[in-house]
Each structure stands twice: as C-alpha cells, then as structure tokens.
C-alpha cells in the first residue's frame, strides 16, 4: 500500500460536542499519524473555495453556513493508504448509510451536519492539504 497523506476536518458540530479528542483518537488507534494540526474559524470565502466543486448545488449555501458556524480542526493524516482508510473510518456521507462504528454513524446528525471531512482522492488530498497548510507546517514522522 502506498504511503499517503490526506486532509481531515473535524467539523463545527463535532467541535461543539467536545469530540475533538475522541475523533483524533480514532485516527491514531487506526495507525494513521497526525503530521499537521490546527484549529481555525473558516471565513465564508475560505469555505466557498474549499467546497468549490459543490457551488450551485442546492445544499451549497447551507454547507457554507454550517462550516462557518464555529471553529474546525484541520489535520493532515499520514499512513499506508491513508485516503481510503480515513474515508472508511468516517463512513458514508449520510449517517443513516454509514457503517456501524464509524465516525459519522456515531457522531453525525444528518447528511449535512456530519462531523468530519476527508479527502476523496490523491488529487483532492494534494489540493486540500495545500489549502490549509504551508509545507513547513507538515512534519515528517517515522
């Protein structure tokens, strides 16, 4: 399996519910390493740019409202097949469809308010990591 990096966001609902540690712990227990980490309040422009692929969809404005409703934790996760493994840990977008024991099954409220984000491809991961982190903010960890 290739060593990969992926961008993860603990969304405002999960931060509000005091779940930062619980979610970070799932990444670590799964063997993914946190190689960059920060807590930030997204501006509307930042949220719109991050989710640019969804511009024009009916849920877009609500998504931007939600993602700017409070601070988020953004982290870069590193490990074998990290992109797919993080998506597996998160579960399906809609918590009603998410496998038992996944982050979204346990913590998401709805298809919109769903606790976590994870890059869905190597191309997205590269774009999304660079969206939030300078190269010097990402650490090599063996």
Catalytic status, residue 54: no
Q: How far is the CB of 142 from ligand UDP (least distance, A)?
A: 30
Q: How far is the CB of 18 from ligand UDP (least distance, A)?
A: 20
Residue of 117, 118, 128, 132 marked active site: 117
CB 30 within 8 A of CB 90: no
Q: What is the 3-state secondary structure (H, E, C) of 27-81?
A: HHHCCCEEEEEEEECCCHHHHHHHCHHHCCCCCHHHHHHHHCCCCEEEEEEEEEC
- Six token digits for residue 47: 């949220």
11 labeled part of a ligand binding site: yes
Q: What is the 3-state secondary structure (H, E, C) of 110-128?
A: CCCCCCEEECCCHHHHHHH
- By C-beta, is 30 or 124 nearer to ligand UDP? 124
Q: Which residue's CB atom is positioned nearest to ligand UDP?
A: 112
Rule CB under 6 A: which residues touch ligand UDP?
Answer: 59, 62-63, 93, 111-112, 114, 117, 120
114 labeled part of a ligand binding site: yes
87 labeled part of a ligand binding site: yes
Binding residues for ATP: 11, 59, 87, 93, 104, 114
Binding residues: 11, 59, 87, 93, 104, 114
Q: Which residues are catalytic?
A: 117
């Amino acid at each position: 399996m290739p060593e990969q990096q992926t961008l993860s966001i603990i969304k405002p609902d999960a931060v509000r519910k005091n779940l930062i540690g619980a979610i970070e712990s799932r990444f670590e227990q799964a063997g993914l390493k946190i190689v960059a980490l920060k807590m930030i309040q997204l501006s509307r422009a930042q949220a719109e740019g991050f989710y640019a692929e969804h511009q024009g969809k009916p849920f877009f404005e609500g998504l931007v409202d939600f993602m700017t409703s409070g601070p988020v934790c953004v982290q870069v996760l590193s490990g074998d097949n990290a992109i797919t493994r993080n998506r597996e840990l998160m579960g399906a977008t809609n918590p009603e469809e998410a496998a038992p024991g996944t982050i979204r099954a346990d913590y998401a409220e709805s298809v919109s308010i769903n606790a976590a984000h994870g890059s869905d491809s190597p191309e997205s991961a590269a774009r999304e990591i660079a969206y939030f982190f300078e190269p010097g903010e990402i650490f090599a960890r063996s």
